[in-house]
Amino acid sequence: MGEELPRVFLLDAGELLAIRDRIYAGEEDLQAADQCLIRDADQALYAGPFSVVDKETLPPSGDKRDYMSQAPYWWPDPDRTDGLPYVRRDGEVNPDSAGYDRAPLSGLCAALSALAPAYFFSDLEHFAAHAGLLLRTWFLDEATAMHPHLEYGQAIPGRCDGRGIGIIDTHGFGWLVEMVGLLAASPAWNRDDQRALEAWFGAYLDWLLDSDHGREEAAQNNNHGTWYDAQVASLALFVGRDEVARQICATSARRRVAAQIDADGSQPLELARTRSLDYCAMNLAAFFDLADLGLQVGIDLWEYEVPGGGSIRRAFYWLVERAIDGEWPHEQMSDFDKAQLIPLLRRGGRRFADAGCEERIAAFADADADRTNLLYPRR
């Protein structure tokens, strides 16, 4: 592989090249993470290929190439013989909701998150070849490709065929296109593939911006709105529409900081959920992504503070103090593996020059094997 910088927006291209050189040099402190990544990528070779046409249920359109999912927290009404319309049980996942396209999409994103960096750091072509197969099957091949819209995302039986809220299903697209940037040097992902994928995401970006569902999701004030902005900004950069990303980061993202983060750093809209720690962490990850994307277009959200004191920095330390340094004092109806916070600790520690975050990471078992050590290296 040559030394051309990978085309990434959330990660630092120069740092990625430096980490690859350090891995090849055999630096001991990177070996555990590299070995774990290779093991994950070896397993991902058996994943998929995934496609929206594999679901058993037809969407309302009658076209299996239309993405379809069912709202996870909605259940049959026990007081009605047909169960309709469904009723909401926040935080309780209806297992029937797994039978559509959300689970395969999650599988696709998970496999790519292992295969692409494993190829980049190792030059092993079989990882890139399988990543290319997965991408073409889901997005590009005429017989299997998803149409670029989410009209039928998070449907509720008896209530609606789809909702703007369903756009959260594709919040992983920002990371997915980041992984595509790590494949650029491989013959398994050629220029025609890249152009076709950019065209697909360009069409999806138009749908996000112009559709009723897209406008509905953009109007959400909680994590749905934050992840909508992160998706739009990331995909806009991927398809070369930097002005869209700049507008999101300069206006909408700043409004979300003001609307969602209190002066003490708490996130009231996420704390109202039955799995409040999951949602606070998830929303903060979206703000972190927006802040990194903002740097690509000259907008500094990392240091942005609204009148009254709300900021991404304060949200980070509010979460760290309660989820890492103390016991979480709010409702959390399901178990939460605090090791999930390692990426936030690493990213926050780097951006806010806080060595204490590395000390917190070191306290976790097997912290040296975490993939974050390769993507967000210690400074």
pLDDT in tens, 320-377: 999 999 999 999 999 999 999 999 999 999 999 999 999 999 999 999 999 999 999 8
Give the side-chain half-sphere CA count within 13 A for 277: 21
Q: Characterize 41-51 residue by residue with b for buried, 16 or more Cβ atoms within 10 angstroms of its Cβ, and e for exposed.
A: beebbebbbbb
Residue 192's Cβ-count burial label (10 Å; 0-12, 13-18, 19+) is exposed
DSSP 156: B
Per-residue pLDDT reduced to its tens digit, 19-77:
999 999 999 999 999 999 999 999 999 999 999 999 999 999 999 999 999 999 999 99
- Token pair for residue 345? 């600790």
Under 8 Å between Cβ of 27 and 70: no
Kind of pairing, strands 74-75 and 87-88?
antiparallel
pLDDT at position 348: 97
Q: Is the peptide bond prior to 49 cis by the omega test (within 30 degrees of 0)?
A: yes
Is residue 8 within 8 A of residue 181, CB to CB? The reply is yes
Dihedral angle computed from the Cα positions of residues 212, 213, 218 and 222, in that order, rounded to the nearest 10 degrees: 140
| Tens-place pLDDT, residues 191-222 | 999 999 999 999 999 999 999 999 999 999 99
**Per-residue model confidence as pLDDT tens digits over 117-169:** 999 999 999 999 999 999 999 999 999 999 999 999 999 999 999 999 999 99
For residues 284 and 176, give the distance between their C-alpha atoms in angstroms, rounded to a whole number: 19
Alpha-carbon span 71 to 94, nearest angstrom: 8
Name the percent of the chain lying above pLDDT 70: 99
Backbone φ/ψ region at 369: left (φ over 0), alpha (ψ -120 to 50), beta = alpha
* pLDDT mean over 246-254: 97
* Number of residues written out for the chain: 379
Q: pTM for this structure?
A: 0.95
Quick check: helix, strand or coil at residue 355? coil
According to DSSP, residue 250 is labeled: I
Distance CA 132, CA 219 (A): 35
How high is the mean pLDDT of the chain?
96
State pLDDT tens for residues 79-91.
999 999 999 999 8
Whether 215 contacts 164, CB under 8 Å: yes
